[in-house]
Structure 1
């Protein structure tokens, strides 16, 4: 799917949601959530191509794959948390959306600890004793 199709689907969904919202607000929200998920799923397949290119670059550079996988998980957590928070925001629940974002940030921090420790160890090894 290219961006013109996505924007077209978004505009169509927006018009439908604005029409439906007056009579059935719950259906309008469900339509918005469904369209959001459909757009998200349309691009999940393209992520596989990006991952394979990054794995090839990591192999050529000698970076252990565990670090690449951790970075990809961190990126995935960030995208999923943002997507979930935006859907909850669409329902008007800002407080829950901020909790989702906070949970995503905490998971990212937990996942980043091994990478941060390797960076600190590397810097410490470079310093003269």
Structure 2
């Protein structure tokens, strides 16, 4: 049922944008941006529930919580960068959208360094000396 609401909102916004775009392109952009924000706000509760389940799974399996938090930050950066890039693309600024995506990738790599180093250390311990 929730997906029908999201799709319905998207379709209504799309129809409004198509009608308004030729007369007032700025309003069309604002409708698109507001629709994206509303959909994101609609999903925050679901995201919170997913994070809670992952926290419980990490605690029960004995995984260090710092790794889970790092992975959640990485996922958050990826989603925010994608959302920001899409909004900027909707405004017709492809080059800025590309820079936002590049910044997201660099920040993800920076956060992933501790996890990558742990993986490399583990692999090195498994290899014969």
Alignment TM-score, normalising by the size of structure 2: 0.97
Residue segments in structure 1 that go unaligned for 5+ positions in a row: none
Q: Aligned Cα RMSD in Å?
A: 0.9
Q: How many residues align?
A: 129
1:114 aligns to what? 114
> Which runs of structure 2 are paired with 1:30-109 in the superposition (5 Å)?
30-109=30-109
Give the drift of 1:128. Answer: 1.8
How far apart in 2 are the matches of 1:60 and 1:122?
A: 22
Bigger shift: 96-105 or 53-62?
53-62
Give the drift of 1:46. Answer: 1.0
How far apart in 2 are the matches of 1:45 and 1:80?
A: 16
Residue segments in structure 2 that go unaligned for 5+ positions in a row: none
Give the drift of 1:111. Answer: 0.3
How far apart in 2 are the matches of 1:69 and 1:34?
A: 29
Give the drift of 1:18. Answer: 0.8
